[in-house]
Structure 1
Amino acid sequence: MDVERLAEGLHEHTDGVAKAVAGADPGAAVPTCPEWSLKVLIGHIGQAQRWAASTIRSGPSPVPDPFDADPGDPGDWSGWLHAGATDLIEAVSAAEGPVWTFFGPGPATFWLRRMLHDATIHHADAALATGTDFAVAPDLATDAITEWLEILSNPITPTLKPGLIALRGTGQTLQVRPDAGPGWLITRSPDGIHWARATEPADATLAGPVADLLLVLTRRQSPDTLTLTLTGDRDLVDHWLANTAA
């Protein structure tokens, strides 16, 4: 996705988060982020975007603790969130070369894309916590799934989150099939996760709207609560979902 679309999406979902929590109790629980309140959720979103902007400009620093973030007065959350998004976009626009990422030097757009999809999923968290509507454009949902699989399949990722080693297998396949466009074929191999944009028979298949697939793959919703079709090995799907975290 080009920088303009990434930036547009970041503003869109930052605004969505702000609207979802407007007037809500800052101490309200966020069911899809155990142990977090809405204040911690909002703090994390703005904190992460500012940290990413600082990383682009000055290099890495310790990943901040969401519980240390101070988003200010709830009445000012919208402005605080938008300021963080704008700061990140400006840092990306000003970058002149590769920057630090978890996976080695990469383009500054790595962080714009990462923070966009982070904000998108946390928009869903905020909406689920406050009973408000959530929507994500198909192109953004598609890219979010692709990015998530890129992260999970990177050989560095298990060194950062050792629990993901449980996703290795002996060739089991999972097809994620959206209503439109090619799907994702995931293969669990002894050396890690492999995937391709392909629509092929698999041991298990999840099919349905791409936005719903994103919510299920990031464990924000159960496949049983959305308009998805699950065929094949249900245990394989359950194992995948039980051993991933977003």
Structure 2
Amino acid sequence: MGAVAVDERLRRRCTEAVVEEGERFGVLVQEVEAGLTAAPDLQAPVPWVPDWTIRDLVGHLGAVHRWATAIVRAGTTDRPAAPPRPPDGGLLDWYAAGLADLVHALRDTPPDAPAWHMSPAAEKTVGSWVRRQAHELAVHRMDLEVAAGRPVTAVDPELAEDGADEVLGVVVPRWAHVEPVASATAAVVVRSTDTDRVWTVRVRRGEVEVHEGDAGAADARLEAPAGQLLRRLWGRPAEVAVTGDPAAEALLRGR
């Protein structure tokens, strides 16, 4: 499978999702800080990411937004500087400013402009970052809802399907050189039961191949609606059906 491209319609939908998910995240953080949720304050833990508090989650996203903005605007595939550190104070204003700047950068920069990417399987273009930021926000927005004691808002099935596709085709190959993928040999079929998308992922000692459709014989199978697949593949609790070797299916989890 070659570098994963992002078509124009999907790029526009992902840009909209960055705005929608980013604003929803920011409003919920404001409600946490105002004492309007079950979370007492920004120091409340994030159950789906046990090492983080809500403050850590906001700081992470704000830093990633600025990092992605710099990558998009650089006009080069050279490796960027590290993400910035969050400020000690004014965290919500800092988050909002970073989100606004990111949206401007994604809208104003041609999607085929060159841009560094951490995965060897991704197109080294701005379009890949539009996609990456949409799914980054969707997953972390769900993290925040759980931390705040709110019901988890479902991700649009089309976007969730693309998020699953990104994990399988871009994220897993990024980790091909590290364990457990580096020494594993397995085939896993993944099916989105509400969108009818099917992938076969083959891992061969550090090489990852992703093909459309069900290739037949597989060491494991993972089936669920697209939104649940997105959660499972990013290591979040999800209602999925797994058959076959659990260790093979676990190879597909995003770090």
Identify the TM-score tier after normalising by the shorter chain.
Answer: 0.7 to 0.9
Out of 33, 51, 55, the position equivalent to 2:67 is 51
The 2-side partners of 1:43 and 1:191 are apart by 33
Question: Which runs of 5 or more structure 2 residues have no equivalent in the other structure?
Answer: 1-6, 33-38
* Structure 2 counterpart of 1:142: 161
Displacement of 1:72 in angstroms is: 4.4
1:9-48 aligned within 5 A: 9-21=17-29, 22-23=31-32, 24=39, 25-48=41-64
- Equivalent residues, number: 229
1:80-126 CA distances to partner (integer Å, 9 max, x unpaired)?
Answer: 54432331232233335312222477221222211111111111211
Q: Which stretch shifts more, 137-146 or 91-100?
A: 91-100
The 2-side partners of 1:196 and 1:114 are apart by 20
Displacement of 1:33 in angstroms is: 2.2
* Structure 1 counterpart of 2:130: 112
Out of 189, 207, 226, the position equivalent to 2:204 is 189
* Structure 2 counterpart of 1:94: 108
Q: Is the 8 A contact 1:152 1:193 kept in 2?
A: no
Displacement of 1:130 in angstroms is: 1.8
Displacement of 1:13 in angstroms is: 1.4
* Alignment TM-score, normalising by the size of structure 1: 0.80
Distance 1:19 1:52, change over 3 A: same
Q: Is the 8 A contact 2:180 2:251 kept in 1?
A: no
Distance 1:50 1:191, change over 3 A: closer
Question: Which runs of 5 or more structure 1 residues have no equivalent in the other structure?
Answer: none
2:210 maps to 1:199: no
* Structure 1 counterpart of 2:246: 234
* Alignment TM-score, normalising by the size of structure 2: 0.78
Which protein is richer in helix relative to its size?
1
Structure 1 stretches of 4+ moved >3 Å = 58-61, 71-74, 79-83, 156-159, 163-166
Distance 1:129 1:137, change over 3 A: same
Displacement of 1:191 in angstroms is: 4.0
Q: Is the 8 A contact 2:80 2:116 kept in 1?
A: no
SS in 1 for 2:137: helix
1:14-59 CA distances to partner (integer Å, 9 max, x unpaired)?
Answer: 1332344322411111122232211110111122111111122236
Q: Is the 8 A contact 2:181 2:205 kept in 1?
A: no
* Structure 2 counterpart of 1:128: 146
The 2-side partners of 1:164 and 1:235 are apart by 9
The 2-side partners of 1:8 and 1:39 are apart by 25
